[in-house]
Structure 1
Amino acid sequence: MKIAQRMENLSPSVTMAITALGRELKAQGRDILSFSAGEPDFDTPDVIKNAAIKAIKDGHTKYTAVEGITETKQAIINKLKRDHGLEYSLEHIVISNGAKHSLFNLFQILLDKGDEVIIPAPYWVTYPEQVKFSDGVPVFIETDDSSKFKITATQLKEAITPKTKALVLNMPANPTGAVYSKKELEEIGKVLEGTDILVLSDEMYEKIIYDGGNFTAAAQISQDMFERTITINGLSKAVAMTGWRFGYIATPKIEIVKTMIKLQGQVTSNVNSVTQYAAIPALEGEADENIEAMRKEFEKRRDIAVKAFNSIKGVSCIAPKGAFYLFVNIKEVTNNSIKFCEQLLEEEGVAVVPGLAFGTEGYFRFSFATDLESIEKGIQRIKNFIEKK
């Protein structure tokens, strides 16, 4: 049997692989501390669980419209209006099985062979893989600590070609926690004026912002940016609903919405009905106290972890402005992040993700979405490992 050629272009997720290996070693009796998965260690808030239980008891267990039920779509509209002053209608929203599914749908319906998608690096591992699977070409703009892992308007202008179809923005970013200011987004928007380039703005971590900062959505920068932006979001990270699989897009471009519904209708149909009902209180702000409590705890962990890493000789780490990852610079220690992470897991029982998986060598990603005791213990093991080397 021969597997389809297109699968040769698709690489497995390194983060998933390392997480799975960590679990396997743990099952063998090894003392493993894993900082590889992007999953909050908090439980889903009770207000969401109770909404799910009510939905089941009320019999909301049937097929729904492919794009989602009206009540949930309206809750998304209310959220975008309340948080960012954005005006959308029901025909502007599509609910999918997590933001990853939303992105896959988008790349599939937007890209023809050879179309280019600009992706800032470091990047979430899934972006380039989905672009390549959709016959597109990922074009990377390199960033590092000195730019706080953010691209500039000048870099964007230089990367644009006649084949550029879209720019992917992820803010706060995975794996760096970078957050673009309103001014920086305005400068990016000016570069795009007069083009047909779409902005795919992945705002999954928007509620996890530190240092009293404010989050600016790409679509709220200007009318021009509103028209070209497809906002991708969900509830996995901020509301600890990873397993529920709820993502959505919002765009004023009706043709994109209709085509996305057509594709999803032939692949997965609707998101499970119970999740859609459970999402409503989260979108309407009924879990905001829970979200803020989680955000505060993440910020506390961030501060402790950043200080601990920066005390290790040969290691440096800038404090992320959002999300729950540190992108730790180990260039003075090694420039082979894969070998470093493999040996760290084998010798010290600590699982982190090599920077190369995110397109940037000389770093590793450390998720602080776990308890403080494990974080402190894990960083001490990393320090021991580096000192031995």
Structure 2
Amino acid sequence: MGEAVMTRLTVFDRVSHRITHREYTDEGFLKVPGRVARTGIQEYLARELGLDGDPSRIVRVYRPEDEVFNDASLGTYDGATVTNDHPKDLVTAKNYKAVAVGEVRGAGRRDGDFVVCDLIIKDQKTIDDINAGKCELSAGYTAEYVHRPGTTADGQDYEYTQRNIIINHQAVVTKARAGGIARVFDHTPGGNTMPVLITTDSGRSVDVADPANAQVVADSFDRLLKRATDAETKADKAQATADKAAEDLAEARKASSDVAIGERVKEISTTQALARKVAGDGFTCDSLDVIEIKRAALAVALPKRDWSDKSAGYVECAFDAEYEKDEDEEDDDKKPKKPTGDAATLIAQLAQLAKDGAGPAVTTDAAPKQTPYQAHKQTLSGAHKQKGA
């Protein structure tokens, strides 16, 4: 799709560029450089651009660097007429005598976002006006306006782009379209209002007294406020870390006190004693960590398990179970042991024989019935007799 190019228009940029370096010739003429134009977004009324609709509607126009600073455009500053306020029309041979108060000498040159050129003011009233504070500069020029809405690199929206800028004159004005920085430079300001310049966080120098820079200043303030808030949050985190370290240090000092050391030694000694019951009297461990002592003892007592990856809780429970098992076995060793095997059988028989022998003999009309003990005794006696015969 092709670009819609408007008819070349004449625009008087009521933009202020502050005057700084003043120098007077022998004739009383004022020689001074000044910022006369800038890149970026500028606002126009719709009627200034000949647009339909509401004539008071604000139209945002983008002035790109490659248009403002190209050699062809900068060359048109040389010889441009200086006027006191903008004339009704472009300066021509017909109205030059009525509106001219000086001229621009040499081509324009870049100074950051601005175009700077050298002016010589020859009209005494205009010189007096400048010294009284009327020291902003505004370019009168023709240009093409391309309707192509877009957004600048710094996020500003616009409707038109300005191209093929040809300078006709430079006007000394009270308020310029390019802002308060678009002024005559001045070492001896006299009655003029000097800009209140600040450097934003991006390094850009702006005049905070100029309403046109209000959004730039506000955005810079917001960014600085966020940085301050982030820094405060970071400082709070650092303080919290420092407080925790102080608490840990206090705990460490408490743990290293004489009482704490005594209790620690007692705990380790007790654990070593219990570990020898679990792993045997020959068990030794150089660790001063109670859990590691118990882990080492279990590795000796129960070598088939891998104790290296067991948690502290697991080690504690297993150690207690193993120690209690050993305690139970010691209690069993202290109780009298019951006979087993043949000895137990013989003792049982003898006990029964003793019981039978102690019982009363039963008599009847028939032969008396022998008790098992009496029968066993008789057997032993018969055997003895047979052996002696």
Instruction: Provide the TM-score with structure 2 as the length reference.
Output: 0.17
More contact order relative to length (CA 8 Å, sep ≥ 6): 1
Task: Name the structure where helix makes up a greater proportion of residues.
Answer: 1
